[in-house]
Amino acid sequence: MTVRFAALGDSLTEGVGDPVPGGWRGWAALLAPSLSPGPVDFRNLARSGALSRDLLVSQLPTALALRPQYAAVVVGGNDTLRAPFDLERTSRQVAAVLSSLTAVGTVPLTACLPDPGRLLRLPAPLARPLARRMRGINAVVHALSEHHHAVHLHLADLPWTEQRTLLSVDRLHPSAVGHQLIARGFHTLLAEAGHPVGPPPVELSVRAPGPGANLWWMATQGTRWVAARSTDLLPGLVALAAIEARHLLRGSARRLDQAEARATSAIISRLTAPTSTPPLPLPHPRTTSPLTAPPQTAPPEAAPPKADTRPAG
């Protein structure tokens, strides 16, 4: 019997960082042949720049039509890199994708993502707000993965900054070596869970990018990426950084972390409650613009207060 595998996601699942003639390969393509001893029908629906809403609107309907046995659902990084980031909205969109797939018997493959501020080595006032967003996303994805019995890889746990060979020249996407590590990680989890997978993905011999590759990427693609983020992320991030700096100076930055943890726990409680209604209806498609230790959250409270984002003083 042919096993069907659909990959939903953004540039990480599209394969950016693992170039092959004609485009990208990536972890999902490396994993696909190992999902069964027999034939595997693989469709990569992931697109660079995709947000959680893009998975729900554009990629999910195609995936459901394929009736896949397995579906990768790895998303959230781009959402955290947008000024109008809303954790509850993003969480409901991810929950809707997972519930729709599991409703037709598909086994989702999910992952916690590494902190982009840490990968890019940003200064604390800029890095901490991004890290807070990523903690929230990861906590929600981890909880939803348990709720929907997904195969969940703690991708953030991998030594991204300690082993430079795992990252591509842009420092945000895995290199070919990193993609191979992700593929083998998912294969191990599937085998341990008793899925009838085939042999593990072949370990390919590749070289890490040299210093010249870093300069070439910045000259050809990096400046475009920085320019894009300067309009859709930087203004909001600068405002968040100013608030963060004030709290850091006054020693009260932990208040922001605690408020985020309470809000995240409340979202998780609402989305995983046994009697909860479906998290979000499937919206009508429309055109949208293109572009891990397990996270810790505080216990849920009856009425969690909103995050205190006012300057300390």
Which is more confident, 85 or 288? 85
Distance CA(272)–CA(302), nearest Å, equals 15
Indicate the pLDDT class of residue 103, thresholds 50, 70 and 90: very high
What domains can be seen in the chain, in order of their start residue?
3-272 (3.40.50.1110)
Bridge partners of 42, per DSSP, are 5
Which percentage of the chain shows pLDDT scores above 90? 50
User: CA–CA separation, 26 vs 298, rounded Å?
Assistant: 35
Give the contacts of 13 (CB within 8 A, at least 6 positions apart).
Answer: 7, 26, 27, 28, 44, 46, 72, 74
pTM tops 0.85, yes or no:
no
Positions of E strands within the chain: 3-9, 19-20, 23-24, 40-44, 70-74, 107-111, 151-153
Between 267 and 83, where is the model more confident? 267
Over residues 84-99, mean pLDDT: 96
- pLDDT (0 to 100) of residue 280: 55
Residues 190-225 have pLDDT tens digits of 999 999 999 999 887 666 555 555 555 544 454 455
d(CA 224, CA 285): 27
- Confidence label for 63 from pLDDT (cuts 50, 70 and 90): very high
The Cα–Cα gap between 27 and 18 comes to: 8
Model pLDDT, residue 247: 73
Tens digits of residue pLDDT in 11-40: 999 999 898 898 899 999 999 999 999 999
What whole-number percentage of the chain has pLDDT above 70? Answer: 76
The whole-number pLDDT of residue 210 equals 57
From CA 270, how far away is CA 293, in angstroms rounded? 24
DSSP three-state, residue 141: helix
- pLDDT for the residue 12: 94
* Mean pLDDT value across residues 78-88: 87
Number of CB atoms found within 10 A of residue 231's CB: 9
